């Protein structure tokens, strides 16, 4: 690819377009060519949108020529997870149940990104209906992990992550219900942002659990995440210049987040925390028993809503689904209505307690995942292993969803292991500035 464009951040490419050194059309063609020639193209992209991408790139070229670019990422090509409605292009959410589903208009966040000048390269593979943290999908395709193709890529935004990690898109847009942005980002050495529920529109996004579903970017830098968030309809990207860790107060959340963490990701996390402390951050340790109470209710909260959303379609054609994923949905039949209502009532109380406990800290820190990427062939052949590894993969990320906070994962020195910083609800701008300081230290 010309001049290493495939390894540059989205923001860096935007600056090259602004300076007149990169033509958006040439850039888009370079990414489309890289996609077509890549050995893993069909495992990462469900389908491309080449005609649309070329049209959008031509418009971006003209705006750049006229000096009226719409923003810092105008003309930059990115990928979209295959649960974002794309007008005239199949949107199937990784499921044979939705095969041939063609929406007539874009999802609202895609509309917003298009208005900001971003170029839509295509739709990426994902776990069926977004209901697994491993990224395994034998029904459509399982993308390879960038560190080792034999390992699971992380899910459910598996293709979104690998499209960036393999240099086939400048950034990818995924979704996060229980960790589906942060797990594949961490396992493929990327930055991933889980937004607060309700911050970005879910209109035109194929749902899993609407009360937990969120939209978020997977990218190379915190700066990219900030601009992508703004381009999709979020708050203005904060000024990241001069971001510093000096004097910041971080709390390491113990109990659930660390208890089940395996030695390698735990060591990577501890090494990263030491680097933050060396740059002036104050590190405390925090325990909160409410997290365990929330985790104990997570099964009821998630699977009840997921089954309510998809149960009828699954029961009409159960053989179209990969068994272990289907079984996760079917677990939703086992809970009574009063259990679900009671669980939500208690969760809201736990969220209030957590927010009061952590309000005095700049961020709460935990390992992004309690495990490194597992072997994909063993996951396919051993159902018990699939179940146990999936629960461990989601163990830490679900804390952020259950507490309804924003969360940012950053790479560490260990491939496939990330460090996650969690902020208070709707504090994305502050969290991104903190993340930029952490990124510099790491």
Question: 86-96 burial string, b = 16+ CB within 10 Å, else e?
Answer: bbebebbbbbe
Residue closest to 179 by CA, chosen among 370, 437, 435: 370
Q: Which of 95, 132, 156, 158 is catalytic?
A: 156
Task: Write down the pLDDT at residue 2.
Answer: 58
Strand ranges, E, within 207-324:
214-219, 249-253, 282-286
Say whether 427 is catalytic.
no
Q: Which two tokens stand for residue 84?
A: 């974002």
Say whether 81 is catalytic.
yes
Q: Which of 79, 175, 180, 370 is catalytic?
A: 180
Q: Which of 81, 158, 368, 369 is catalytic?
A: 81
Q: Report the side by side order of strands in the sheet with 363-367.
A: 45-48, 119-124, 77-81, 172-176, 214-219, 191-194, 406-411, 418-423, 363-367, 249-253, 282-286
Half-sphere exposure of 251 (CA within 13 A, CB side): 20
CB within 8 Å of 38: residues ≥ 6 apart? 44, 166, 168
pLDDT, one tens digit for every residue, the chain (442 residues): 556 999 999 999 999 999 999 999 999 999 999 999 999 999 999 999 999 999 999 999 999 999 999 999 999 999 999 999 999 999 999 999 999 999 999 999 999 999 999 999 999 999 999 999 999 999 999 999 999 999 999 999 999 999 999 999 999 999 999 999 999 999 999 999 999 999 999 999 999 999 999 999 999 999 999 999 999 999 999 999 999 999 999 999 998 999 999 999 999 999 999 999 999 999 999 999 999 999 999 999 999 999 999 999 999 999 999 999 999 999 999 999 999 999 999 999 999 999 999 999 999 999 999 999 999 999 999 999 999 999 999 999 999 999 999 999 999 999 999 999 999 999 999 999 999 999 999 9
Domain ranges of the chain: 2-231, 249-291+334-441
Q: Assess if CATH 3.40.50.10310 describes domain 2-231.
A: no
Residue closest to 133 by CA, chosen among 437, 396, 366: 396
Say whether 345 is catalytic.
no
- What 3-state class would DSSP assign to 81? strand
Alpha-carbon distance 117 to 228, whole Å? 11
Alpha-carbon distance 296 to 282, whole Å? 31
Strand ranges, E, within 324-417:
363-367, 406-411
Q: Which two tokens stand for residue 392?
A: 């461990």
């Amino acid at each position: 690819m010309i001049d290493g464009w495939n390894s540059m951040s989205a923001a860096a490419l935007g600056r090259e377009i602004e300076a007149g050194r990169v033509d958006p059309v040439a850039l888009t063609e370079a990414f489309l060519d890289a996609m077509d020639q890549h050995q893993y193209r069909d495992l990462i992209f469900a389908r491309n949108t080449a005609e649309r991408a070329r049209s959008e790139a031509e418009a971006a070229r003209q705006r750049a020529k006229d000096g009226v670019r719409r923003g810092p990422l105008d003309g930059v090509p990115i990928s979209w997870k295959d649960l974002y409605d794309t007008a005239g292009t199949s949107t199937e959410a990784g499921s044979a149940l939705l095969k041939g589903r063609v929406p007539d208009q874009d999802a609202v966040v895609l509309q917003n990104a298009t208005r900001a000048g971003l170029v839509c390269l295509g739709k990426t593979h994902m776990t069926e209906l977004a209901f697994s943290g491993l990224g395994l999908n034998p029904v459509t395709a399982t993308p390879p992990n960038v560190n080792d193709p034999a390992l699971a890529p992380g899910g459910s935004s598996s293709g979104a992550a690998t499209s960036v990690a393999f240099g086939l898109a400048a950034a990818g847009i995924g979704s996060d219900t229980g960790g589906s942005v942060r797990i594949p980002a961490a396992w493929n050495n990327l930055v991933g942002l889980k937004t607060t529920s309700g911050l970005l529109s879910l209109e035109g996004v194929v749902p899993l659990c609407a009360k937990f579903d969120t939209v978020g970017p997977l990218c190379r830098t915190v700066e990219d995440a900030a601009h992508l968030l703004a381009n999709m309809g979020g708050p203005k990207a904060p000024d990241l210049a001069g971001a510093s860790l000096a004097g910041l107060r971080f709390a390491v959340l113990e109990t659930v987040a660390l208890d089940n963490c395996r030695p390698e990701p735990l060591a990577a996390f501890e090494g990263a925390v030491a680097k933050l402390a060396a740059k002036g951050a104050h590190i405390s340790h925090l325990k909160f028993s409410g997290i365990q109470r929330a985790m104990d209710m997570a099964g009821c909260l998630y699977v009840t809503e997921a089954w309510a959303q998809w149960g009828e379609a699954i029961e009409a054609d159960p053989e179209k689904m990969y068994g272990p994923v289907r079984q996760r949905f079917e677990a939703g039949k086992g809970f009574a209505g009063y259990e679900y209502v009671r669980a939500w009532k208690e969760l809201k109380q736990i969220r209030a307690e957590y927010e009061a406990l952590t309000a005095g800290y700049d961020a709460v820190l935990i390992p992004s995942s309690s495990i490194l990427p597992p072997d994909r062939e063993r996951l396919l052949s051993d159902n018990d292993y699939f179940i146990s590894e999936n629960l461990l993969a989601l163990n830490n990320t679900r804390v952020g969803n259950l507490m309804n906070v924003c969360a940012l994962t950053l790479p560490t020195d260990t491939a496939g292991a990330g460090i996650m910083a969690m902020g208070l609800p709707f504090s994305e701008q502050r969290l991104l500035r903190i993340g930029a300081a952490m990124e510099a230290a790491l």
